[in-house]
Amino acid sequence: MLTQEQESLVNAAFRPHIPIDDPSDFSGRENERERVRDALAVPGLHLVVYGERGCGKTSLAYVSTNGVERVKVFCEQNSDFNQLMRTAALQIQKSDPERLVFDAQRNTLRVAGTALSLGNMTGNDLLFIIPDNKPLCIILDELDRVRDTDAISAVAELVKNAATNKPLLTLVMVGVAATAGAVLRGHASNHRAIRELQLDRMQEDELDGILRHGEKVLEPLGLKFSEEATSEILRLCDRMPYYLHLMANNAAKAALKVGSPIVETEDLVRGCIAAASDADQQLREIYELAIRSSNGSRLHQRVIWGMANLTAKNNNIAEVVEEAAKIAIGRPLGAPSRKAVGSALRGLILPSRAQILTRAGHGNYTFTSPLMKGFIRLIRQGQ
């Protein structure tokens, strides 16, 4: 059982489930942080931060805007534009309650003698309550989750309007997508007021920096990671900061529970078991549906495990056949044929196998969720 101090320090060192806000707790992404700060300094310029889930987009947005006047708006699936504007307006009001008077009974916001209805807050209303001479940043986090296409179109119009009429306002729009245009449903290419910032997976030196920073936080406990455990974490995390934080957090706790001052590979194994159960439940459900076997061959599991071994994002049949042959599970234990692996791959893109894979061009396949490879590696390490 961990003490309160141990639990608190480990959770401060490695945070897989909450974004980082304090720049002193953040490692890496120097170029990306500089690009965000540059955008904040340019009047009329706005920013779209996009990339795969688990790459640290929200943390980057928070850390890079720390120290400036800002409001954070979390976008829910069922949000409409009015709800987004209302949330932003109320947060602005909290920082300036004398100028902006909130009337909960009437659901209005009064400013300069004008009462604005919060039940029908428009983009123009939001710009009206923002001072002309004071910089402000509004972060729209997980904007890609919003299903209402009219809301996304209205956000794009707000960007255009703000660039002209409120040049000291910066909108930072964050979303899971392959392009900035996908976050704004194609509207990003329509105007020049947007800077696009793609966040890729982290480099190994940046990931190692996260571990080294975590060790500094854990200095009061005298806990460090062995070279072997460090190498394994860097290999298994699939260059995703989310998985590095998740594994390091659980491995550190596993070491502390047995009184070890060094996180060794056996602590990592125990930590991975806990980390796999702590990961996204949807990933587990997809994985379990994809690997089910009625004849004991476990071919689909071998194919999936083989793909998880590979470092490239997209894999061809020959590569998967070679990796699957190394995995001794199911019956028969011999190397599966190219035909069998090809059939399994085609099956794994179907709804009946939860579409765990997606075609990536002729003869190539990739995991549909960018988090799936890391999740499978956690499971295998724990076993």
The answer to whether 108 and 128 have CB atoms below 8 angstroms apart is no
- pLDDT (tens digit per residue) in 248-262: 999 999 999 999 999
Contacts of residue 129, defined as CB under 8 A and 6 or more positions apart, other chains included, come to 89, 92, 93, 100, 109, 111, 116
Per-residue pLDDT band at 331 (split at 50, 70, 90): low
d(CA 182, CA 188) in angstroms, rounded, equals 8
Q: Choose the CATH number for 281-382 among 3.30.450.40, 3.20.20.150, 2.30.30.40, 1.10.10.10.
A: 1.10.10.10
Q: Assess whether pLDDT exceeds 60 at residue 314.
A: yes
- Note whether 29-199 and 203-278 share their fold: no
- pLDDT (tens digit per residue) in 205-241: 999 999 999 999 999 999 999 999 999 999 999 999 9
The answer to whether 142 and 75 have CB atoms below 8 angstroms apart is yes
Per-residue pLDDT band at 278 (split at 50, 70, 90): confident
Whether this prediction's pTM lies above 0.85 is answered by yes
- pLDDT (tens digit per residue) in 150-175: 999 999 999 999 999 999 999 999 99
Better-predicted residue by pLDDT, 190 or 78? 78
Task: Name the DSSP letter for residue 134.
Answer: S
Domain boundaries, the chain: 29-199, 203-278, 281-382
Tell me the residue type at 272.
C
- Name the CATH superfamily housing domain 29-199: P-loop containing nucleotide triphosphate hydrolases (3.40.50.300)
- pLDDT (tens digit per residue) in 12-47: 999 999 999 999 999 999 999 999 999 999 999 999
Domain 203-278 class, CATH top level: mainly alpha
